[in-house]
Structure 1
């Protein structure tokens, strides 16, 4: 192995060979580490996991669409209804299907008092899911 050469003028030229001894040392150490750790990585515990199959549930719960106009008139799925009839209708619907949802569509000019009364009545009769339908395109 040459560390340098002396050319005819007496000056040393820079070494042009790559010293691979440190590279080989590092590679041998890494090889030994991988030989030792490889069996440890393959050791595993056998577990019998249950097989699960999921089918999407396409059934949507029934919902009631209750519209409240600015003059406090009520519409049950498009059909006019009186405020006194709401309790009986809510009670009948909850008796048939307890997971029924109430969707309230209120005009923007309706007083909150009317909406709160309907929500309170629905909650007392057992309707747990109450949502609001809005239309952001109407200004």
Structure 2
């Protein structure tokens, strides 16, 4: 018999597909932040450059995310030191801020001042589109 039975391979492929579909949403990491809603044009960015995302949650805790890697909550001084180290290695990285809409305005302003002090030349803000515009 010179034929290969591919039915078992299809079964294995479908099982793997289901496993990956179930586990993929669990792999998403990040800090739960309720972003403010506003209408704005998206910023144009280079796809080659990996963004540094700094998040501020409702309690005012700071987090740094680079690609898929997140961090534990940190103080503003530790954040400045870490961003400074990252920008010394990746000078052309863009820095984006995800601030919870319920966090105080002064907290975000202090964060942006520390980011500029750490060497960030331009800082972007991440928002979400309002529900009625979708």
Give the TM-score normalised by the residue count of structure 2. Answer: 0.55
Q: Where does residue 63 of structure 2 map in the other structure?
A: 75
CA-atom RMSD in angstroms: 2.0
How far has the Cα of 1:105 moved from its partner? 0.7
CA distance in 2, matches of 1:137, 1:112: 20
Describe the shift of the 1:105–1:85 C-alpha distance in structure 2 as closer, same or farther (beyond 3 A).
same
Larger Rg: 1
**In the TM superposition, what is the alpha-carbon distance from 1:137 to its structure 2 partner?**
3.8
Q: Residues 5-52 of structure 1, C-alpha deviation per residue, up to 9 Å, x if partnerless?
A: xxxxxxxxxxxxxxxxxxxxxxxxxxxxxxxxxxxxxxxxxxxxxxxx
Given that 2:52 and 2:96 are in contact with CA atoms closer than 8 Å, whether structure 1 keeps it comes out as yes
RCO higher in 1 or 2 (8 Å CA, sep ≥ 6)?
2
Alignment correspondent of 1:61: 49
Shift in CA distance, 138/81, structure 1 to aligned 2, threshold 3 Å: farther
Count of aligned residue pairs for this structure pair: 82
Unmatched segments (≥5 aa) in structure 2: 1-45
Using the size of structure 1 for normalisation, the TM-score is: 0.53
CA contact (8 A) 1:99 1:127 kept: no
Which protein is richer in strand relative to its size? 1
Point out where structure 1 has 5 or more consecutive residues left out of the alignment: 1-57
Q: Once the 2 structures are TM-superposed, how far is the Cα of residue 110 of structure 1 from its aligned partner?
A: 0.7
Q: 2:91 aligns with which of 95, 98, 103?
A: 98
Give 3-state SS (helix, strand or coil) of 1:79's partner: coil
1:128 is aligned to: 121
